[in-house]
Structure 1
Amino acid sequence: MKVKFLGAAMSAALTIGLLAAPAASASVVEGRAQAVGLLKSGGPVLSAAAEKALLGSDEDLRVFLADGQRTAKAEDERVLAAQDEKNRKLIVQAAGRGGPSVKDAAKKALAGTAADRKKFLEIDYAVCQNIDYDVLTTRQLSAGPEVRAAAQRALNTNSTDDVRDFVFFVRQAATERDNESAEVQRLTDEAYAAADQGDAEGARYAAGEAAAVAKNARDANAQRLEGLRFQWGAEARAAWQAEIDRAKRDKAEADKAAAQKTDAAKLIADAVADATLAVPNGRRAAATFLKLGGPAVKAAAEVTLSGDEADARAFVATELAVATEKDDRAAVAAIANGPGSDRLHQAAKDVLAGPYAGVVEFLRTRNYPGRETDDRIAVNQIMSAGGRVVKERAQKALDGTPADVRAFLEVGQFAAKIVDDRIKVAQSLSSGAEVDAAAQAVLDGSDSGLAPFLASGLGKAKLRDQDTAAHVARIDELVAGAAAAAESVEQ
C-alpha cells in the first residue's frame, strides 16, 4: 500500500499548524542523527533500541546514547559470538571432509575474523569445493577408458554441475564399467586360450565366469540406480519442503510489511486530522518508511528521524507526499525505459508528462491505450511456443474477456506450463534406467525442478543410459565370444 498526500489534503491552516514547532537544541539533533546511524547499521537488538529511543522523549534518547546503546550492542555481540562459534564448528567439519582448496581456505577462515568465517560458509566453501572437484576430475583423465571419457565430457562442458555429478555418481558407474570390462576381457582371453589348447573344461569355466561377472555387474548397477533413485527422491522432497517453508516465510514477511505500511499510513492520516499528533505519528511512520519505503521516501524518513519536531511536522505536511511522488515517478520512468512494447513505453512517458494522479492510476492498473492488443499478442506468442495445456488455456483466454487474457499472462501461463512440464517428465519414464531414476526424483520434487530437468538433466541422463547400453553391448559380445570358444572345443 502506498501513501498519497497532496494538495487538497493540506490546507494552509493545517500546514501552519503542523509546521509550527519550537527549535530543538543542537545536541538533541546531533544525538538523533547518531541514533539513526545506529538504527541503520546496528544489529537487531541495537537497531530496535535505537528506534525506540528515537520515538521516545529527549530523555529516552539521552539515556540510550549514554548507556543503552552499549547494552544493546553487547547483546548483539553475544548473539554474533554464539553464531561465530557454530560457524567455527561447521568450518572444522567442512575442512575434515574437503579437498586441498577447501582445507586451505578453511584454515585461513579459522585464523581470521568472524566476518571471514561467515564469508567462507556463504561463498568460499562452495567455490573451493568446485576447485577441488575440478582437480579431482582432471586427475581421472589418466584412469580407465570409461572414467576418462566421462571425466573429459564433464570438463568439456565447463559446468560445475556436470563436474559435481561426475564426482558424486558418474565416476562410480564408470569405474565399475572399467573394472567389469577388464575382468570379462581377462576371462574371455582365458576361454580362448583354453579352447586353443583343447581344454574344454577350462574354456567352459572361464566362459561361465565371464557371464557371471557380467550378470553381477548388471545387478550391481541396478542396485546403484535404486539407491540413487531413493537418495534423489528424498533430496527432492526435502528441497520441496524447504521451498514451501521459504514461501511461507516470505509471505509472512510480506504480510507483515503490508500491515506496517497500512499502520504507518493511518498514523499519517491521523496526524493530518489532528496536528497535535504530527510529531509522534510522523516519527513513528518515518521509522517504518525508513525500512520499507522507496529511495526518496527513505531519505525523507531519515531526515525526519534525525531532525527536530519541525522536521517531523514537515514530513507529515509535505515531505512524505513529495518523496512518494518522486519514487512513483521513478517507477514509471523505469517502465518507460524497460522491457515492453512501444505503446507501453509511450504511455509511461505520457503519464510522466502529466499530473501525479495519472502516475498513481497507471501504477495501480498498468492500463494504457493498446494494452489489450499487446496482451493478446503476448498470449499468442506464448501459445505458439507452449505445450498442449498452455495452448488450450491460452486459446480459452483469447476467447474470453480482456480480464481473462490478463489473468493468463499474470498467473495462468505459469500454471499451464507446469502441467505441460510434468507431462513431459512423466513421458520420459521407461526410456532408460538412468532417465527413470532422475525423472522420478524430479516428479517427487517441487515444480521448480521440472524445467531445469527438461532443459539439461534429461539429456544428461539419456547420455548415461547410452553409455551403459554401449558398454553392455561390448560386454555381451565378449561373453558370447567366450561361450562360442568353449562350445567349439566341445564339438
Structure 2
Amino acid sequence: MKLPKVSAVIAAAVLAPAVLFPSSASAADSPQPAGVSGPDTASDKPDDAGHQDAGDQEKRDRAEVQRILADKESGRGVRDAAGKALKGGAAELRHFLEVELPKQRADDDRVMLGRIMAEGGPAVKAAAGKALDGTYADVVKFLKEGQFTARAEDEDRAKVQAILADKECGRGVREAGEKALKGDAAAVRHFLEVELPRQRADDNRVKVAQILSAATGRGVKEAAIQAMNGTDADVVTFLTKGWATAQAEDDRVAVLRLMADKDCGRGVREAGSKALDGTAADVRRFLETGYAEARQDDDRVKLSQIMDVGGPAVKAAAGKALSGTYADVVKFLKEGQFTARAQDEADAARKPAQDRTPDAKPAAQPESGQGQGVQPAAVTTTTGTTGTAGTTGTTGTTGTATGTTTAGTAATATSARPGQLAATGTDGLGWEAGGAAAAVAAGAALVAVSRRRRSAGS
C-alpha cells in the first residue's frame, strides 16, 4: 500500500532533526563541566507544522555563546574561543558549544586551580596539588568545595599563629596552640573553639598572681586580690582596666613619697610636681626615668656645693668624682666626703703644732741687753730684787738671789712667745715692763755700792 504524498513529507520532517543534528543529542546526554550550561536544546523542537528553521537555531546558538562570553566566571580560553565563534556562522557556533567549550573550560579550570594554589596557604596548596594529580572531576570538586575547606583550615592556622605571636600569650595557650598546629584541621578548630578560652582563663589568673606578687602599692594589691576572688570576667576586667587605674594611683603616691624625702633636691621636686600635674603616663615616666635623671643632677649640684666650702682634700676628692661617673658621685656623697674631711681636719690639727716648734726654743741673750729676747731675764731678776728693795741691806741681796731663781723658773715655764707677761699672759707689755725693771735694778745697785763705800771710809 502506498503512503500518501503528504504523509511522506511529514515523516521526512520528523526524521530531519535526528539526521541533521546528532551531536546535539549526544552533547545533551554527556556530563557538563561545573558551572557550564549547555546549549538551549529545549527550544530545538519542530513547530506545529513539523518544520525546523535552521536560521532560528543559529540565533539561539549565538545568544548562548554571547551569554557565556558575558559570564564573569568564564576563563580566558573560553572567552577567546567564544569570541572567535561569534565571528563565524552556524557551524562555528555549534562547534564551539559542542567541542571547544568543554575543552577550554577544563583548561581554564586548571589554570584557576594553579593560581589558587600559588596564592593559598599550606592547606590550600596541599589540596590543590592533590586535585591537579587527579581527574578533571577532582579539579571541579576542588574549585566548588575543596578550596574553601582548605582556606578555612589555613585561616584557622593563621589565627593560631597570630595568637602565639602575641607577646601577651600565656604559657598554657602557647603549649596548646603549638600542639594543635601539629595536628589536622579538626585539631586546630578544636583548639580555637574549646582549648583557647580555657587556657586563656588560666593564664590570666596566673598573670594576676604575678602582678600581685610584684606590686608595691596598696591600690594594685587590693584590686588584684578582688579580681582573683571573682569570675574570669572580673580577671579580664582587672587586666584591661582595673590594673591601670590602681597603678596610676599608686604611682602618684610614690612620687609624693620621693618628694617628701629629706634628701630630695630641687630638681626632683620640680620634676615630680610637673609630673603630678600631667597624665598617668607622665607620672609613670617620671618614676621610670625622670626621677633618676633629676636625682643625678641634684647630687652633682650637692657635690659642687661641698667642693666649694671644703678643704684641700675635699676639693680634690670632689673634683675627681665630678670627672667620673655618677657612681663616683654617689660614692663621694656617701663615703668620700667624710674621708676627705677627716684628712683635712687632721692636717689642720698638725699645722698649729708645727707653728709652735720655733717659738719653744730659748731666745738668744744679747750682750747689751737690747731686743725682746732679754726681757724675760730682766723681769725675772727685778722680781726678786724689787721684793727686797724695801727692806735693808743683806736681806735685800739675799732676796735678790732667791727671787732670781724663782722667777727664772717661772719665766722658763711661761715663756710661750716674746712680750707675754709670765703671770697674766698679757701681750704687748714686753718693752715697758723690761725698761722699768732695768731702772729699779740699776738704782738698787747704786745704793749697795754707796753703802759699801761709806763702810770702807769709816
- TM-score between the two structures when normalised by the length of structure 1: 0.34
Greater Rg over alpha carbons, structure: 2
- TM-score between the two structures when normalised by the length of structure 2: 0.36
